[in-house]
Structure 1
Amino acid sequence: MTSLATQSEGRSFSVPQTQFFDLGSSEAEPWRVFVHVPPGEAPAGGWPLLVITDGNAMMATAVDALRVQSSYPMGTNVGPGVIAAIGYPTDDAYDPLRRSFDLSPPPGQSYPPFFEGGPQVLTGGSQRFLDFIEGEALPFLDGLARIDPARRTLFGHSFGGLFALHALFSGCEAFSRYVAASPTIYWEGAGLLDSERRFATEHREKDIVIHLSVGEYEGDALAPFQYGREDTEKRLSNARTARTLELTREMAARLSTLPRTRVCCEIYSGETHMTMLPIAVSRAIRMAFEIDAV
């Protein structure tokens, strides 16, 4: 019997209702913005919007999660909306050099190259990246689809979670919801905590929602499969330095005491820093596109 696969050539696959655009000034390398706009007419107030960092790695998962969940709103409490995932002009999941700069708060530092002969790794560019999002990406999205300015959510994982918290604590008013998964709070002397302290003293005119999450194995214990390997001790040392589980829990507790602030913190059982990513994406979808707020 001849299979159908042998009778036709394979075809490329694309994510439905999704395009990408390269945006940015001529003075800097462009960012690649992946955009999903659902079919049909926008609601009277416009579509809710989810903006995601590390767009190359996140977009397909996010769109599929939204399409599935919004198809069964009675079982998910999720409706349709616009997703904009910001990444780089590459076919790889990440651009390590550019994301290191874009997603880390100032003042930043310089680090040895990722590989021999490569460029130095620079950090501290998150304000420039935030300026791009607020000044260029959001207006561009408004021209593509009608967006509800009161229902914009920012989501990031790892360095992206650090960036989301930097945006929140720096006084960004472009978003009403911030979703930070496995945020690297400890980064560069945990300078983010200084920003948090200033944020805590400020008066807020609007309500905000903050969702923090972390994997079970981002604390003192590694995942079972990570023991007995040649890199076990290095991983344990890195985990003790990052203290992602501990610092995320502590931050959630502090933020939950602030007025006009709704905070949720979840610990994903059985997950590591990287395996928790699809769960975090799905949760960001639910936070951004919930129909009835709870």
Structure 2
Amino acid sequence: MSPKLLAEGQGLAPRTRWFDLEDSITGAVRRVFLWLPEGPAPQAGWPALWMLDGNAVIGTAIDAMRAQAFWPTGTGLGWGALVAVGYPSDAPYDSFRRSWDLGPPPGRSYPPFHEGGPEVRTGGGAEMARFLLEDVRPFLDTIAPLDPDNRALFGHSFGGLFALWLMFTQPAAFRHVIAASPAITWEESFILEHLAGFTPPTTTAPRVHLSAGEWEGDILAPFQRAAPDAEFRLAEKARTRTVAAAQEMAQTLAAMGIETHYETYAGETHMSVLPVAINRALHWAFALPPEEPTHA
């Protein structure tokens, strides 16, 4: 089966298209954004950066790409395609749907986000993974020249958790994995069970970039320190351990022989980190090789 195209349009920036695709199994409708560089694609097709929370990230990614890739000697950034998966909405997030889509199985049930709302569920990550790999990929292959061997996946927060889980369960799905502020300690750190059973491929092991904002550690951001909820925020930090958990994950993956890099972004909180992390994802996915020195 293939996804049903319900609607499509132009948007956000030149050379950007979006497609509302109906999941071929569940019938859920998600919006897929696609941006392609100008000019002919490389012989193998464009390398592609796939991004979760597509509505929130696609605009920033396009702007960062257009501002840098045209000047490769000054930025080290090459051209590539941008694919972002979100929802048919003008809002940056659909918190209810992303809880299900980006929460790896088995998942749990939680109280509604608002009074009278539906129960919130996690654990639909396997459905989302199948949609990405079996619905979106074949669909995009019919309309864009994309390199099947050079794909990167970027996720932030829940999206970072999903990206790591997908790497542990399907390590060949993406060549590069970028997890910003990943929710590693979510639901009693169950992702560590997947890490414990993970055996990196002997060939084409993913390259991994992990990161978090400085103010996701043990100290509140300056503007939060005198706030009425400061004590609650500190307790949440102690529970989520975003910086420490990402650092520990990076150390473990590197010890397995996986090319791994960890970065703390100065002066950023869990949400303000997003534009910085998107820019880094572009460079992790599309960095140009260093030029060889020339000799007279």
Q: TM-score range by the shorter chain?
A: over 0.9
Q: CA deviation at 1:140?
A: 1.3
Q: CA deviation at 1:203?
A: 4.4
Indicate the residue corresponding to 1:16 in structure 2. 14
> Quick check: 2:155–2:163 contact (8 Å CA) kept in 1?
yes
For the pair 1:229 / 2:234, whether they are aligned, the reply is no
For the pair 1:99 / 2:103, whether they are aligned, the reply is no
CA distance in 2, matches of 1:162, 1:13: 29
Letter in 1 for 2:85: I
Letter in 2 for 1:292: P
Q: CA deviation at 1:172?
A: 3.7
SS where residue 216 of structure 2 aligns?
A: coil
Q: CA deviation at 1:293?
A: 6.7
Misfit runs of 4+, over 6 Å: none
Letter in 1 for 2:245: L
Q: CA deviation at 1:207?
A: 3.1
User: What is the aligned counterpart of 2:282 among 268, 274, 285?
Assistant: 285
CA distance in 2, matches of 1:209, 1:192: 18
Q: CA deviation at 1:150?
A: 1.6
CA distance in 1, matches of 2:129, 2:16: 23
CA distance in 2, matches of 1:245, 1:169: 20
For normalisation by structure 2, the TM-score amounts to 0.92
SS where residue 256 of structure 1 aligns?
A: helix
CA distance in 2, matches of 1:70, 1:211: 20
Q: Which runs of 5+ in 2 are unaligned?
A: 1-9, 292-296
Indicate the residue corresponding to 1:247 in structure 2. 245
Letter in 1 for 2:279: S
Indicate the residue corresponding to 2:81 in structure 1. 82
RMSD: 1.6
CA distance in 1, matches of 2:190, 2:109: 16
CA distance in 1, matches of 2:161, 2:11: 32
Change (3 A) 1:187 1:62: same
Q: CA deviation at 1:109?
A: 0.4
CA distance in 2, matches of 1:162, 1:16: 31
Letter in 2 for 1:231: D
Change (3 A) 1:21 1:171: same
Letter in 2 for 1:268: Y
For the pair 1:271 / 2:268, whether they are aligned, the reply is yes
CA distance in 2, matches of 1:24, 1:239: 38
> How far does the alpha carbon of each residue in 1:180-217 deviate from its partner, in whole angstroms, 9 at most, with x for none?
00000001010000101111x45432232000000111
Indicate the residue corresponding to 1:186 in structure 2. 185
Q: Which runs of 5+ in 1 are unaligned?
A: 1-11
Choose 38-47 or 25-34, whichever is displaced more. Answer: 25-34
For normalisation by structure 1, the TM-score amounts to 0.92
CA distance in 2, matches of 1:288, 1:13: 23
